[in-house]
Structure 1
Amino acid sequence: MALPVQWVGMDLDLRERLRRLGVRKHAAPLKPALQSNRDVAPLRAQLELMSTPCGPAYVSRSAYPLAHRHGDRALDAVLRHSPELLARLIVGRTITEIDLRRAIFLDTETTGLNSGVGTLAFLVGLGYFEGERFVIEQFFLRDPIEEIAMLSAVSRRAHDRQPIITFNGRAFDVPLLESRFVLSRMASPFADKHHFDLLLSARRAWRGSLGSCGLGSLEFHLLGVRRGQRDIPGAVIPLLYREYLAAGGGEPNEDMQRVMYHNANDILSMVTLIACLADALTQPQDVAEHFNAARFYECAGDYDAAERSYLAAVGALQAGRWRDLRALIPSAQSSNSAPPRQSLRRAARFLKRRGHPEEALALWQRLAEAGDVEALIEVAKHYEWRMGDLDRALTYARRALGANSQPALHRAIARRIARLERKALQSKA
């Protein structure tokens, strides 16, 4: 259940409902409403009756050809990547390959925004590849008394598929559903299955270059998905379901249709997000993407791949493919086209440890030009110990002292300067 990057095209009635729920808009000004793509999921869903051992359940089924475009990518783009590469995308992976044609994509809409005992999943969306189509089945609770039948239907569909693929499902969707299965005295189809939580992978890949790794932000910045006015903010969905029940339930009303639209698009975005992740690792297009790929590999413990990517990034910098070094930013929130300082620091430290002092120095020098204290100290060390140039070492150490604002580090830099001054005097004696 993901929140969109912004609430665009919101009508006055919906704004009032949000206020009643206690939800407030972001402090930052909203951007103008964007035109929704022609390729997002259809709005109108029709429920079909499904018989289960626990009674009737209700499901809406939609099928998309593999060539269907969701944002900038077709659904089959993800199938072009090797099972081994896809497994490398999983944070905390325990498998060596993923067969996406056996996987199950999961997203829920719930009666609350926490996974407490009183929270129900009133809509469970499951997506999977079937032949030359991608199918989304949405299991809907017309009334909470139908929960056991719905869980039975979900279990039947999901029990023989893995891994589970979610967005923030490790923290929310799966624990919530497993608790509902336990309370219903049913075996969970998700127990002991491999889990691919895309939020964790997205954070590993882009946390250094995007201000937010929420699904709405990723859609906006990376996937080319524009949902437009038909979508609905995730925060208001529990209220809309309560209003639907208060009105008598039954066939999904217009609000519930919008919730189902939101849920289907979350699932489609998961599919194209995997392709985007794989592309970012295998086909980095600029310096920032090289840094992102390197950091991903480093966090995954694949140090050889990280080394190759960091060296490629440094090579691109030295070739002038990123010209404006003074555009370096102190945080990761302003741009995804230039690596922020923390990415360069991380790369320099890694390359130094891996025995590439010259490449590390290239990064430290560029950071030093922007007044980075750690970089100034590292360049001072280089001139002292590797070059024997005490005058230049002193120059950088003094610049570090002037740029620093931390008392403890200030004392350490002052001691370094005093030692360098004594060493310089001795060398001239």
Structure 2
Amino acid sequence: MSLKNKLNRLKPHLSISTHSEKEPKLLPEVTAIEIPFLDKWEQEKVTPYFLDGNYCFIREVRYPLAYQHGLYRFDELRTAVNSWNESEIIHPLSSKGHSVEELFFFDTETTGLGGGVGNTIFILGYASVLGDELILRQHILPNPGAEVPLYQSFLEKVNYRTLITYNGKSFDWPQVKTRHTLVREHVPKLPAFGHFDLFHAARRLWKHKLDRMKLSIVEKEVLGVERLDDIPGYLAPIIYFDFIESKQPDGMIGILKHNEIDILSLVTLYTHLTFQITRTDRNQSRPETYEVGRWFASLGETEQAKKVLTTLTKEQDITSTKAKLILAYQQKKERNWTSAQELFLEVVESEDLQIRAEACVELAKIFEHRHKDLSKAIRYCQEAINSVSVDPINMSKPMFDQLQTRLNRLEQKYLKYHG
């Protein structure tokens, strides 16, 4: 069969139109998506976002910067960011080089606490400053098959340089990345950014006073935030699964408001942490000041640590003693042996047996290696043993054995030179 005949036989099956190009083309009829209880959603400032025959929800709430959440108004966040930009303090939470508009306060709600693809994010919530408002948005997954519009709507609005979360490095953002991989062919890429995780900061500053570090506890005990008629976070997955079946939005609206408070509290918490670290909080307690100084010391910011901790050394309390101990170690590291010895000698008078034992060990080292005074080295080693011996609750056998080994070595060394 000739090529011409073959083409003629195929003509009825070809999708090439024989109509004139000037004739209008008939587009397929678009079927509207019916959204259950849309009027209830709209009453809560929730609107649908449509994409490729599917949809998600977006809720937007705007707060004036004069609005106060807990200890601070939102405009004090701008003061906090400005204080970092005007300061020479080097710190992991510093937003130096950023404007307040570049901070992105982020939190999620998920169907479980575990990781992996079996855990679904059903609310992506965030807030950022724009002009004279704090704008809070929440992107809501109406059913498990709507992740493409969920992430498309979220990523097309993202405009930030620094993410601020509460345990987000370990949970929220890894979970976002996991879910994003499932739809990445259909939505924009995840942007690169800096990340401030306030969970670790809160634990550093307030573990001395809080047994648990849940955000709701930090809110109440530190930030002055009181939740009224709040739905506990652990009920969120159950409420979401019920919503998928019933489509009734009442429970989900409660979860949205729970998530909203979480996000607003991140703004207050970052502001408060900034004022703590930069020491502009006039109500900062001595233990909080100590934790700030200890944090600087752990970062190797010795001058800042010294500046903060020295303010605590005039009193006769445990906070003063702990501050002196850190300062003594800094002096030792800098090989300022005289200053280190003086501080350890002050610390050794502490009523805290563990601290006293620690200072005695350091003095034993100084007298053995710097002054070659074995009798004093033996004396302080023996005092360290006595301190741990009378504190059986906190005494560890390895520590006791190490001290006993040190004492035996010092005594043998003394006998060798003084027969």
Per the alignment, in what secondary structure is the counterpart of residue 170 of structure 1? helix
Structural mapping, 1:364-375, within 5 Å: 364-367=347-350, 370-372=353-355, 373-375=357-359
Distance of 2:306 and 2:50 partners within structure 1: 55
Distance of 2:65 and 2:342 partners within structure 1: 44
- Counterpart position of 1:127: 127
Alpha-carbon deviation of 1:306? Answer: 2.2
Deviation string for 1:208-232 (max 9, x for gaps)? 564333312321222111214x112
Change in Cα spacing, 1:264 to 1:148, as seen in structure 2 (3 Å) is: same
Q: Percent identity?
A: 26
Paired amino acid for 2:348: Q
Paired amino acid for 1:90: P
Change in Cα spacing, 1:64 to 1:298, as seen in structure 2 (3 Å) is: same
Alpha-carbon deviation of 1:358? Answer: 5.1
- 2:333 matched to 1:350? no
- 2:296 matched to 1:297? yes
Paired amino acid for 1:350: Q
Of residues 360, 363, 381, the one that matches 1:397 is: 381
Distance of 2:89 and 2:363 partners within structure 1: 39
- 2:253 matched to 1:257? yes
Q: Which stretches in structure 1 are left out of the alignment for 5+ residues?
A: 1-43, 326-337
408-417 vs 191-200, which moves further: 408-417
Distance of 2:66 and 2:360 partners within structure 1: 52
Q: Which stretches in structure 2 are left out of the alignment for 5+ residues?
A: 1-42, 389-394
Distance of 1:298 and 1:387 partners within structure 2: 27
- Counterpart position of 2:10: none
365-374 vs 232-241, which moves further: 365-374
- 2:403 matched to 1:413? yes
Per the alignment, in what secondary structure is the counterpart of residue 397 of structure 1? helix
Q: Is the 8 A contact 2:49 2:149 kept in 1?
A: no
Q: Is the 8 A contact 1:59 1:140 kept in 2?
A: yes
TM-score, normalised to structure 2's length? 0.74
Structural mapping, 1:21-420, within 5 Å: 45-52=44-51, 55-81=54-80, 82=82, 83-84=84-85, 88-90=90-92, 97-158=97-158, 160-184=159-183, 185-188=185-188, 190-207=190-207, 210-228=210-228, 230-247=229-246, 249-250=247-248, 252-253=249-250, 255-283=251-279, 285-312=284-311, 316-317=312-313, 319-320=314-315, 323-325=316-318, 345-354=325-334, 355=336, 356-357=339-340, 360-361=343-344, 364-367=347-350, 370-372=353-355, 373-381=357-365, 394-404=378-388, 405-414=395-404, 416-417=406-407
Deviation string for 1:183-229 (max 9, x for gaps)? 1124455332222222233334444564333312321222111214x
Question: How many residues end up aligned between the 2 structures?
Answer: 360
- What is the alpha-carbon root mean square deviation over aligned residues? 3.4
Paired amino acid for 2:224: G
Distance of 2:74 and 2:194 partners within structure 1: 22
Distance of 2:223 and 2:320 partners within structure 1: 20
Distance of 1:186 and 1:345 partners within structure 2: 57
Distance of 1:87 and 1:245 partners within structure 2: 49
Distance of 2:51 and 2:71 partners within structure 1: 39
Tell which structure's C-alpha radius of gyration is larger: 2
Change in Cα spacing, 1:116 to 1:423, as seen in structure 2 (3 Å) is: closer
Q: Is the 8 A contact 2:164 2:196 kept in 1?
A: yes
Per the alignment, in what secondary structure is the counterpart of residue 190 of structure 2? coil
Alpha-carbon deviation of 1:271? Answer: 0.5
Paired amino acid for 2:266: M
Per the alignment, in what secondary structure is the counterpart of residue 201 of structure 1? helix
414-423 vs 281-290, which moves further: 414-423
